[in-house]
């Protein structure tokens, strides 16, 4: 009698909390420690756990999965620059861009978004069916789908992702997506004004994985422009990674 080999079951790596809850949790760590290293035991106590445990470690792992915490040394963690940009954003545009980056950090979330391209919050049954067909552990499918859908709903609520499912990663591919201030798309070509220089135009055009920049600024305007361009660093990095992933897949 021959037996077929056991079916391979994927165990999805996903944050065990939606992004909204992750931001609230990291804020409790950032408030007393800012960007200084913090012992993991102290960190979990700040977010409601009495000691390091399975659930507590999963909570810290969720914050790390969104890029809100990073390793700082043996037994220590630290709030990331991305998290601080979200909590203390210089503009609403910066906050939205960093939130979108955080939401797209987990590989599983990017995979689901690609499967349901153009839909901000896909049907839960559709996501569950997709994960089941990918061979994920049945016990993890529903929690993973819930965390993803709540995260996408959070982005939609904040306007960090538009009604067509486009976000910061898609900059330059659509003239309708949310854009940081002082930005024009190739389709619109509208001149934006740098507030530090009165009527001096500052034009930043997102063109795929490149930025086309035209500016006339004084020292104060230069500093403002530097802050603006900093917002795009993560967007271009993400766009480049996604393009490389697609090229590898093809």
Beta strands, E only, 100-237: 183-184, 202-207, 210-215
**pLDDT-derived band at 191, boundaries 50, 70, 90:** very low
- Angle made by CA atoms 129, 122, 243, in degrees to the nearest 5: 95
What Rg value do the Cα atoms of the chain yield, rounded?
20
Location of structure tokens 């153009």: 118
**pLDDT-derived band at 206, boundaries 50, 70, 90:** low
Please determine, for residue 107, whether its predicted confidence score (pLDDT) is greater than 80. yes
118-130: per-residue pLDDT in tens?
899 999 999 999 9
**pLDDT-derived band at 213, boundaries 50, 70, 90:** confident
Strand 69-73: give its sheet, edge to edge. Answer: 38-39, 76-79, 69-73
User: For the chain, which domains are there?
Assistant: 19-87 (1.10.10), 92-158 (no CATH), 168-249 (no CATH)
Please determine, for residue 12, whether its predicted confidence score (pLDDT) is greater than 70. no
Mean pLDDT for the stretch of residues 66-80: 95
């Amino acid at each position: 009698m021959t037996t077929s080999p056991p079916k391979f079951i994927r165990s999805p790596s996903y944050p065990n909390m939606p992004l909204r809850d992750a931001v609230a949790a990291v804020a409790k760590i950032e408030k007393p420690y800012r960007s200084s290293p913090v012992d993991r035991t102290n960190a979990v106590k700040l977010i409601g756990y009495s000691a390091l445990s399975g659930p507590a470690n999963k909570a810290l792992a969720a914050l790390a999965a969104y890029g809100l915490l990073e390793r700082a040394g043996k037994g220590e963690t630290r709030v990331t620059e991305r998290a601080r940009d979200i909590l203390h954003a210089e503009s609403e545009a910066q906050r939205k861009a960093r939130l979108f980056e955080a939401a797209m950090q987990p590989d599983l979330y990017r995979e689901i978004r690609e499967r349901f391209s153009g839909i901000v919050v896909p049907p839960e049954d559709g996501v569950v069916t997709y994960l089941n067909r990918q061979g994920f552990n049945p016990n993890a499918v529903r929690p993973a789908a819930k965390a993803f859908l709540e995260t996408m709903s959070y982005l939609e609520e904040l306007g960090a992702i538009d009604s067509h499912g486009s976000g910061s990663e898609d900059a330059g591919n659509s003239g309708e997506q949310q854009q940081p201030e002082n930005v024009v798309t190739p389709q619109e070509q509208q001149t934006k004004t740098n507030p530090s220089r009165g009527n001096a135009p500052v034009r930043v055009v997102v063109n795929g994985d490149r930025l086309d920049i035209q500016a006339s600024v004084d020292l104060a305007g230069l500093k403002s422009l530097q802050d603006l361009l900093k917002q795009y660093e993560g967007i271009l990095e993400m766009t480049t990674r996604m393009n490389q992933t697609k090229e590898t897949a093809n």
